[in-house]
Structure formats: structure tokens, C-alpha cells
Amino acid sequence: MAKQQDTSENSLFAKVISHAKEYGFVYQSSEIYDGLQAVYDYGPWGSELKKNLKDIWWTAMTRLNHNVVGIDASIFMHPTTWKASGHVDSFNDPMIDNKDSKKRYRADVLLEDKAAALEKEGKADEGKALVEKMAALLDADDLEGVRNLIIEQGIVCPESGTDNWTEVRQFNLMFSTQIGSVADDSSTVYLRPETAQGIFVNFLNVQKTSRQKVPFGIAQIGKAFRNEIVARQFIFRMREFEQMEMQYFVRPNTEMESYERWRDARMKWHQAVGIPAEKLRFHKHEKLAHYANAAEDIEFEFPFGWKEVEGIHSRTDFDLKAHQEFSKKKMQYFDPEVNQNYIPYVVETSVGADRLFLMHLCEAYTELTVTDGEKSKTRVFLKLHPAIAPVKAAILPLTKKDGLPDKGMEIFRKLRAKFNVIYEEQQSIGKRYTRQDLIGTPFCIAVDHDTLEDNTVTIRHRDTTEQERVHIDELEARLAEACSPERIYEQLL
Ligand code: ATP
């Protein structure tokens, strides 16, 4: 269930955020100008981690499925696209302001939070009834009813503690801008709020040029933009973010079979990339979007509660039909097997790359108390799956003398084309180990005087700090065994 709470309320989450900033994963955008709300930049390690996640998704979706192909569509699209998709008229969030604190909230999230609190108190039925009531009011566009329900439930603003609420208003989440030199209504374009429409409008182009037969899928990774009302919780809810979506086109009335298959395949993927099964669950939508006949989220237990990471939607033929109507171009497919023309139905999987990143960061952040004699200290490390870790190994000469740096560089040069490895010689070996732990590097390779004699090095394992001696010639195979995404793909086949 969604929760609107300040990140400072949650110490583990606050630690993850500050870790991300301090160790080069995520920075506030334009920080020198005090930042831009809900817009973030990825640093050296963050961009590597995100890229690894995207690559593994891309390979799992396209290369492992012979009937899924990729595209890369533009952010700007003809404005009628968004009329047809329903986004101009109904891509809204109900918002409510507290008159005392002047803080703005999503009305539905306030009620969902209340339902979650009831569930925690052992009143699950009451919570469920509340969500159902809210869904019915939103369906009927009864915004006054939503406001009354918030007041009836005794929901107050967490900041001011009052229920001095404004009316509930719908707020369109699309950003618009002008294209060309003349600013008038006809030149208004939107920054796409989802990548899916780029797939729908290209459906026939892709089908024909890739010679695919229904059922087949189109996958895409790209930026999406939403003017989120409540932009908090770090990169969980951003105004500019990245989506990884796949639309799977099927024969009408066969969509439920594909829906269930993709829903299970996507859950399996998250687990294969290292998220434990008990931290993931499905959550069925109470209120279906205007285009869907079934929808479920894959939720992860974030430090601030169970929240959506990915949506699996059965979108019917809504989008293709609407584009056919608005563009006056046929969006039909001729199915030679049944000798029929039809508009395919669509099953969608839609995951946010940034939310996925945040899930992995939260899951990987580990604090361990280590005792050494009388003293005890906390060891912090990121227990990332080696296949997604930004750096696979750090090559560390024990000292800066006696030819150890040259030997270290020799190993670095041997490995760098195959793996993202780094070479470091500054500071004590202990400090260098700690730095690698903090960015989640699974292996440190220490080069010492024995290396010069017998070409062996010490491998230190991030999670256990255990050390072992191996021959330099074995390094490549050892890193490949642990870090190659192939191990992930094997679990999916
Ligand atoms: P929410 O209910 O959290 O607003 P949504 O149901 O609107 O999400 P979808 O439209 O289904 O989300 O988008 C698919 C995925 O895109 C989400 O599961 C999420 O991972 C990601 N996503 C959506 N909005 C954002 C955002 N503002 N910031 C980051 N990721 C997002």
C-alpha cells in the first residue's frame, strides 16, 4: 500500500538515500542551484548499476524470447496520440491541499494509507471496504464524496495535524511544451507520460518489417515524464524517469493466458536478479485503468512499506482501436492461421528502471556489526548481485613500490575489456576494501610480493570478507562465473 511520509521518518531509507548520494550513485539534479524537485542524476556507479539492470531486462525480454523485438521511439509524439490514448482527458490524479500547512497530497494515497493502517491494526476487512468505497467514488468522478470520505475517516495532514482540507481536484500529469517557432494550440506537444504509445503507433511497422506473427511482443526502454503531485521518496516517484515496457500482441480472447504467463515470468525475473521471494508480492488492482480488463502490480517491501515496482496489465484492444479511430488508419492484423482480420489484444509489462534501481539499492544495503577483540564497529556494504554490481573487481597493489603497481596494471589491462574493473593504489588496503564494499564491488584482487614470484593474487569476497589465493590465469574464468548475467538467464529458460 502506498504511504505518504517524509523520508526522514524512516531511518533505514534515510541511510540508503545518503549512501546513494555520498558514494556516487544518485545526485539531486542541478544541486548547485538547490536542485529541482523530483529530478535526479545518476553518478558514476549509479549509471553503471542502472545500465546493468536495463541490459539484463533487455536481453531477458528480447533475446530470450524469439518473438519479442525492440524499438526506440521518440519522446515527442503527434499530440493526437494522447487524445486517442485517453491521457489528455483522464491521466489525472485527485489532489487535495491542506489549508493550514499548504501541503498537497494525493487524495487516493491518503485513503490507501488509512486502509493500510487499518490492516495493520488487524481490521483488514475495514481497510478493504475503504479502498472499495474510494474506488467507487473515483469511478463515479465523485470528488466531493472523496473529500467527505477523507474527513469521515478522520484523516489529518501529517504536517499541520488538521483536517482543514480544500476540495479535491483532478490534476493532469502530462507536461506540455511548444514545437516549432509559433506558439499556439496546434503546436502543443506533450512529453510522453509512458513509453507504451510509441509501441502502439508503430505496431504495424514493426510487425511488417520484423515479419512477426501474432503473438509477438515489442519492447522498449525510454524516458517518461509525469508532473507528479507528490514527488517524494527519492527516486521512487520522479518527474522524469525511465520505463522498460513490453507490449505483447495476442489473438482476442487469448489474453488471459498470456497475462498469467508474463506475470509469472516477470516475478521470476526479479527473483533471478537477486530479490528474495519473500520481499515480493502481487497486488491486484481494485480500480482498473480505463484501458484494462485485468491488472496486477509486482510490489516490493521497501523500507517505507509495500510498493509497486512493476505493473502487468491486460490492456485489451483499447489502444490500437483508439489509434485506428483517431488516425483513420487500419490497425488490424491478418491472421493466416484463422484466416481473419482483427485488432490484437495487448498484455503489457511495465517496470520503472529507477524504481527497480531503488529496490536493489534498498535490498543490497547491509550493515553488520563486527567485533574485533574489545572493539566493535559497523561494516556497511552493498550486497548487489555480482551481475548488476557497477564494478566487478578492484585491482589493488599492496604498496606503491617494488613493481606491484606494474603487476596490478598488467592484471587490470587483461581484464578491462571483459569486465568493469578498476585499479586503485591510494591509501591503505583496508581503506580501499571499505571503499569497494560501499559501492558493492563483489571482488577485490590484492597484488603482493608473492604475486611477483608465483603469479598468484588474493581474492577478497565482499559479502564474507573471506580471502583466497588464486592464479592470475584463473581470474577471468572466476569473474565470468560469478558476474556473468548468463547465470540469471539460465534460471529464466
Ligand atoms: P504509481 O501508482 O506508483 O503512480 P503507476 O501505476 O502510475 O505508478 P504505471 O503507469 O503502471 O505506474 O507505470 C509503470 C511503472 O513505471 C511503475 O510500476 C513504476 O515502476 C514506474 N513509474 C511510474 N511512475 C513513476 C514515477 N513518477 N517515478 C518513477 N517511476 C515511475
pLDDT digits (tens, 9 = 90+) for 276-306: 999 999 999 877 877 788 999 999 999 999 9
- 5 DSSP assignment: -
Distance CA 281, CA 274 (A): 15
Name the strand (E) or helix (H) holding 104. strand 104-106
**Which ligand 1 atom minimizes the distance to the CA of 297?**
18
> DSSP character for 60?
I
Q: Which residue puts its alpha carbon closest to atom 16 of ligand 1?
A: 352
Question: Residues 15-29: pLDDT tens digits?
Answer: 999 999 999 999 999
Number of helices followed by number of strands (H, E) in the chain = 17, 23
Q: Is the pLDDT of residue 365 over 90?
A: yes
Distance, CA 41 to ligand 1 centroid (Å)?
18
Please tell me the distance between residue 210's alpha carbon and the centre of ligand 1 in angstroms: 29
**Binding-site residues, ligand 1, Cβ < 6 A:** 194, 226, 228, 237-238, 241, 243, 308-311, 350-352, 354-355
- Of 146, 152, 102, nearest to 126 by C-alpha is 152
Q: What is the pLDDT of residue 183?
A: 65
| Closest by CA position to 195, among listed 236, 247, 149 | 247
221 CA → ligand 1 middle, Å: 14
Q: How many residues would you count in the chain?
A: 493
Phi, psi of 291 (to 5 degrees): -100, -5
- Looking at residue 75, its amino acid is I
Measured in Å, residue 230 CA sits from the centre of ligand 1 at 13
Burial (CB count <10 Å: 0-12, 13-18, 19+), residue 357: buried
Instruction: Name every residue whose Cβ is closer than 8 Å to that of residue 336 and which is 6 or more positions away in sequence.
Output: 213
pLDDT in tens, 25-53: 999 999 999 999 999 999 999 999 999 99
Whether the Cβ atoms of residue 202 and residue 329 lie closer than 8 Å to each other: no
Q: What is the pLDDT of residue 10?
A: 55
Asked if residue 238 lies in contact with residue 38, where contact means CB atoms within 8 angstroms, the answer is: yes
**Mean pLDDT within 446-470:** 97
Closest to 308 in 3D by CA, of 251, 273, 367, 358: 358
Q: In what order do the strands lie in the sheet with 92-97?
A: 104-106, 92-97, 169-172
Q: pLDDT band for position 466 (50/70/90)?
A: very high
CA distance 247 to 62: 12
Q: Judge whether 209 and 122 are in contact, CB under 8 Å.
A: no
Cα–Cα distance, 210 to 267 (Å, whole number):
28
**pLDDT of 118 higher than 70:** yes
pLDDT at site 285: 86
The mean pLDDT value for 371-392 works out to 93
**Distances 326 to 83, 86, 201, 202, 431 between C-alpha atoms, Å:** 8, 11, 11, 15, 62
From the CB of residue 60, how many other CB atoms can be counted at a distance below 10 Å?
Answer: 23
Q: Which CATH architecture has domain 391-492?
A: 3-Layer(aba) Sandwich (3.40)
Q: Please give the CATH superfamily to which domain 2-73+193-282+293-361 belongs.
A: Bira Bifunctional Protein; Domain 2 (3.30.930.10)
Within 10 angstroms of residue 485's Cβ, the number of other Cβ atoms is 18
Same fold, 2-73+193-282+293-361 and 391-492: no
- Residue of minimum CA distance from atom 18 in ligand 1: 310
> For the chain, how big is the Rg over CA atoms in Å?
26
Q: How many CB atoms lie within 10 A of CB 370?
A: 10
Query: What is the tens place of the pLDDT at every residue in 162-201?
Result: 999 999 999 999 999 998 877 666 788 999 999 999 999 9
Check residue 98 and report its DSSP letter: B
Domain ranges of the chain: 2-73+193-282+293-361, 391-492
Ligand 1: residue whose CA is nearest its atom 14 = 350
Joined together, the cell numbers standing for residue 36 give 529541482
